[in-house]
Amino acid sequence: MAARCSDRNFQKSRLTLLANTHIVAIIFIMSRKKLIAIIALVVVIGATASFYMIGGVEKVKAAFQPKNQQETVSLEGTVLCLPAKEGADASALSCAMGLKTADGKYYGLGNSSNTKLSEAAGTDAKVKVSGVLQPSANDTYQMEGIVTISHFDFSK
C-alpha cells in the first residue's frame, strides 16, 4: 500500500509540475506579448509627441488648405501694354495696362484708370505699385496675376 501511495503522490507531483510548467510558459508568452504591446505603445506615443513638437500638424494642415488666393504686394517696374499670349490674335486686342518687373514678369493692373499711369505706358518711367495680387485665369495676356492698385508712386 505504501508503494501505491508514493506512486500516486509521484503522479500528482508530476501533474502539478507539468501544470506549473504550462502556467509559467503561458505567463511568459503573455508577458512577452504585453512587453511587445507596451514597447509599441511607447514608440507610437513618442512618434506622436515628436510630430507635434516639430509642428507637423500645422504643416499637414497647411498642405491641405487652399493657398491664400490674395496677397498684398509691392512691385516696381515699367508700365506697358501687356503682351499677348502665344496663339492669341494680338492685332484684335486692345491695350491691357500692365507692369513689367526687373525679373521679366508681367502683372496686370486693376484700377488703372489713372491718367498718369496710362500716360506712362510705353515710356521707361519706373513706377512702384502696391495692392492686392490675385491669380488670373487669363488666356489672352501674359501675366502672373492682377494687382488691384491701392497706391502707386513714380520712382526717381
pLDDT tens, per residue, the chain with 156 residues:
555 556 666 566 666 666 666 666 666 676 777 778 888 888 888 888 777 777 776 776 666 655 556 788 899 999 888 888 887 776 667 788 888 999 999 998 887 666 677 777 777 778 899 999 888 877 788 888 888 888 888 876
Shared domain for 56 and 83, answered yes or no, is no
Please give the Cα distance from 20 to 14 (Å, whole number): 10
Give, for 106, the enclosing helix (H) or strand (E): strand 106-110
- DSSP string covering 37-68, please? HHHHHHHHHHHHHHHHHTTHHHHHHHHHSPPP
Shared domain for 60 and 77, answered yes or no, is no
Which amino acid appears at position 139 of this protein?
D
Please give the Cα distance from 148 to 120 (Å, whole number): 18
Here the CATH number for the domain that contains residue 104 is: 2.40.50
